[in-house]
Structure 1
């Protein structure tokens, strides 16, 4: 089976996210020793690095640790499904979105498998607007989902314009 060039772009996005996510977490754990320190003030109160062991999904939802393996397997199944979808994708926004979500899902799955939790550290809670601590993988998933929505809206508009032109 030949993999289309555009699908390779999605896989490239995913790889970049995985590498950046895992490198940042390694730096947080070993370079900054954030696990021991707990918190590093960066631009207080706007941005800080705070060590959080997230046993749930994005932004700590459904935490507790009991679902470690289920969440790991689910993340990998979602990533595999998206990797398959990338084979059929034709639009650049869709490909970028798929790649970001794959990368984020795999990045967090790696943590769950290795540690039993996801390492979160980006903390904007001092702003009072965003109380969660997150990581690069979470950010990639969020941006990817936003791009999926944008791509869907754009596709629907193009389809609606096409239908209107056919009726005219």
Structure 2
């Protein structure tokens, strides 16, 4: 089971980094906004905080990168020990996303966000594929825990 999660983590990491380099080198060479649809734009936002721009006060480059790597290592250990396929998938998504954003911090000092969804003047904070993978992974983990078969208590 952990193999599936490890492959997914690697895939998320590669896709996340490839999409960010594509945005940086090809799409946003001179920083600008590209309107894709009436509710979705490609933008370039440098995020010194965590997912969706939270805690963006700056100054935490090494702390946040180190914390993300430490959490990813702990989750990989959990993934290797699990026998539940959906938990392995969830952990793979979170690990890949955490490592993708940690790599950004180590290379750029901040995270590259570029997906901008908006509706009626409200813009959700810009995010990236790593943020999406982390969010989906946490949701899958919660759903998996709801349906996990628990051993009957010994009374």
TM-score, normalised by the number of residues in structure 2 = 0.93
- RMSD value, Cα: 1.8
The number of residue pairs the alignment matches comes to 155
Structure 2 residue runs without a partner (length 5+): none
| Aligned counterpart in structure 2 of residue 29 of structure 1, from 7, 19, 24 | 24
Distance 1:90 1:151 in 2: 12
TM-score, normalised by the number of residues in structure 1 = 0.86
Question: In the alignment, what sits opposite 1:3?
Answer: none
Task: Confirm or deny that 1:150 pairs with 2:139.
Answer: no
Task: Confirm or deny that 1:113 pairs with 2:102.
Answer: no
Task: Confirm or deny that 1:86 pairs with 2:79.
Answer: yes
Task: Confirm or deny that 1:141 pairs with 2:124.
Answer: no
Distance 1:37 1:53 in 2: 11
More helix by share: 1
Larger radius of gyration: 1
Q: Deviations along 1:84-141, whole A, 9 cap, x unmatched?
A: 0011111111000000000000000000000011000001024556521000000000
Task: Confirm or deny that 1:14 pairs with 2:9.
Answer: yes
Structure 1 residue runs without a partner (length 5+): 1-5
Q: Secondary structure at the match of 1:22?
A: helix
